[in-house]
Structure 1
Amino acid sequence: MITREVESTEKEQYNKLVNHPLQSWEWGEFRQSFGQKVVRLGVFEEKKMVSGYQIVFSQIPKTNYSIGTLLKGPKPDELMINSLKKLGMEQNAIFIKMEPLLLGPDPKTQTFLLDHGCVVGKPLFTKNTFWVDLTKTEEQLLSGMHPKTRYNLRLAQKNGIMITEDNSPEAFQSFLNLHFETTEREGFFSHNQQYHQTLFKIFHPAGITHLLIAKYQNQPLVAWLLFEFNHVLYYPYGGSSREHKELMPSYLVMWEAIKLGQKLKCQNFDLWGSLGENPDPKDPWFGFHRFKQGFGVRLVEFIGTYDLVINYPFYSLYNYIDKIRWLFLRSFTKIKKLL
């Protein structure tokens, strides 16, 4: 087998082989639109592509160095590691951060990574997530929910909450308004408006995005931006209003998202993260975790985050500076909340 860069004419074949929207061709185009270097590698048996993955390189400001990320890629092997080391040197990368789409614990793969130049790294995505099995019937899904979740869902229906899929510019603006209202209210990090607009501009024509809006008396209360890719539905972004929370609109949005996934013939619904087993009730994400948990989900764990180190001296320096940077950002966020 050989590894080489994937050509633009092989886009369709590449997209059929990768298993996550962050590995999709469109995600690469999105990252390129912000000036990042994207390299797509394909593994070929003779002329047939049998696997593929893409690496995004971000330049460190005012230096000649970069950092690579390979998120939600395939299971690492000798061929991949050798290809990444070579590519990392070509791109003057300090390291390439890997978060394989591989369920854990997997001691064999984890040992392989540690034996081939990787170290346990700082995560970009949560190690755990929740999955909803969309092959079940509606009756099975409802019976598997927590009774309180089922009650709140029916309360939203009774209260006249209306859910529609609306991918119009007006609906997308409603999503942005609710998303930024939520992140401001909860003190969560969010990408800026340009980020979301560019993402939607690239993903929507490809059929990846689906925007659900919950309204009460024509007033938008909740908006979720969903991804659908290779028979899996994802919930990466959302937002909600302070108003009419007693009507429980988010519960009905989740239920309609589940039914949309089934309509799209998805096998699974990935809720894009959870706190894992036995979460701390004081964690700022605990309420969101508990909300998801009520829908009869399966808690899954990935093998975690590994940094393939290319430049060891600079890797240590980078981690030191990054630690100080995040301490400053957290302190700034706490001060901002007090003002």
Structure 2
Amino acid sequence: MYTITPVTQSLTWNEQVESLGGHPLQKWGWGELKSAHNWSATRLTVTIDDELVALAQVLHRSLPAPFKSLSHVPRGPVFAASLDAAGRTAATDAIVAWVKKNVGGVGITIETDLDAVDSVAVTGAKPSPNPILYPTTLILDTRLPADELLGACSKSTRYDIRKGAKNNLDIRRVVTDEELEQVLRTYRENAARAGFAIHSDGYYRDIHHLLGEDSFIAACFADGEVASFVWLARSGQTWFELYASANDTGRRLRANAPVKWFAIQAAKEAGAPRYDMNGLLNDGISEFKRSFSKHENQLQPSVDVAFSFLHGAWNTLLPSAKAVLRKLRR
């Protein structure tokens, strides 16, 4: 019989996430970030005979009446290696049952960090029509020798990385608040140029400060200003790309590939075996990501478990609801 226990201490939680090799989106800081921006977080451990076998940070978003709320497990639950497919399913079912009883709402979306071949059949789950995280991604095995990782890159990407090293580009970790503001200016400039929506500056500042050491930004500096950057959330197991951008200077210097290579090498030096580029689509950004390897990774697809007959109505309304919320924020 599985026992579900809420955890309220950040140090305890992070130690447990790391002990099971969990994803950075399951660490305490990510829950604090989302809690500062319209969500709340519940951290649950799953034990059997006092042995920790799984855990999940569950995020909850309040919805307009009569929907109440929607729950989300980003890149979780996290499972002990000892659990087989039946054990993973049972542990997830126990988490879902706890959330349904104690939180309620219309349902829960589960997006695990498991490979597609690692089965977990959540009872009552259906494929999610509105996934938040994409199952097709590129995960580099940073345990491989650097020469092998570089050899897997496309010819043009290898050229840019080597040229960056030859030209002694100033690439380093962002450490000061002043440098963070430069990152945000670069991101705003590129968003305005390319026409894509971004969060407020306050949201990104919260990421950096609430994640603490789990936030890692690598940047190329030109004349003392950030020209290109890649921003990651990290755990001991996985470094996970959140954002990347470059201004005109960064593009002229072809700094994007050297900056990403710097981050990959930093993950390798830190002993993290996985560098996850966070989703592949059919766009230019994804083509650039694909230039770092000849393979793709397929994770378990997003699934929904409905708690209420209103869940289907909410999924139908969600695209329209997002459009309305965007207009209200302007």
Scaled to the shorter chain, the TM-score interval is 0.7 to 0.9
| Pairing 1:310–2:307 present | yes
Residue in 2 that maps onto 1:3: 4
Closer, same or farther in 2 for the Cα pair 1:62/1:181, shift >3 Å? farther
Q: Deviations over 1:178-211 (max 9, x none)?
A: 122222222223222111111111112xx21122
| Aligned partner (choices 59, 69, 73) of residue 72 of structure 2 | 69
Residue in 2 that maps onto 1:146: 154
Distance in 1 separating the partners of 2:167 and 2:91 = 57
Distance in 2 separating the partners of 1:307 and 1:151 = 44
* Aligned residues of 2:21 and 2:237 also touching (Cα < 8 A): no
Q: Deviations over 1:243-290 (max 9, x none)?
A: 352321111101111211122112121111112xxx4xxxxxx21112
Gaps of 5+ in 1: 280-285
Question: Which stretch of structure 1 is more off in the superposition, 225-234 or 9-18?
Answer: 9-18
Distance in 2 separating the partners of 1:327 and 1:36 = 19
Residue in 1 that maps onto 2:85: none
How large is the Cα RMSD of the aligned pairs?
A: 2.4
SS at match of 2:42: strand
Deviation of 1:326 (Å)? 5.0
Alignment of 1:319-334 (within 5 A): 319-326=315-322
| Aligned partner (choices 107, 118, 123) of residue 125 of structure 2 | 118
Distance in 1 separating the partners of 2:14 and 2:125 = 32
Per the normalisation by structure 2, the TM-score is 0.87
Amino acid at match of 1:73: G
* Aligned residues of 2:7 and 2:45 also touching (Cα < 8 A): yes
Gaps of 5+ in 2: 80-87
Closer, same or farther in 2 for the Cα pair 1:144/1:15, shift >3 Å? same
Distance in 2 separating the partners of 1:198 and 1:214 = 22
Distance in 2 separating the partners of 1:231 and 1:86 = 27
Residue in 1 that maps onto 2:189: 181
Deviation of 1:172 (Å)? 0.6
* Aligned residues of 1:235 and 1:272 also touching (Cα < 8 A): yes
Residue in 2 that maps onto 1:170: 178
* Aligned residues of 1:43 and 1:51 also touching (Cα < 8 A): yes
Deviation of 1:52 (Å)? 0.9
Closer, same or farther in 2 for the Cα pair 1:105/1:138, shift >3 Å? closer
SS at match of 1:15: helix
* Aligned residues of 2:236 and 2:271 also touching (Cα < 8 A): no
Distance in 1 separating the partners of 2:203 and 2:168 = 33
Q: Deviations over 1:297-337 (max 9, x none)?
A: 5310112111110002x11221222233456789x8xxx9x
Distance in 2 separating the partners of 1:125 and 1:172 = 25
Residue in 2 that maps onto 1:199: 207
SS at match of 2:106: strand
Closer, same or farther in 2 for the Cα pair 1:79/1:257, shift >3 Å? closer
Amino acid at match of 2:277: L
Q: Deviations over 1:17-67 (max 9, x none)?
A: 351111112222222233533211111133332321111111013556000
| Aligned partner (choices 89, 94, 99) of residue 87 of structure 1 | 99
Amino acid at match of 2:125: C
Amino acid at match of 2:313: L
* Aligned residues of 1:210 and 1:228 also touching (Cα < 8 A): yes
Residue in 2 that maps onto 1:52: 55
SS at match of 1:252: helix
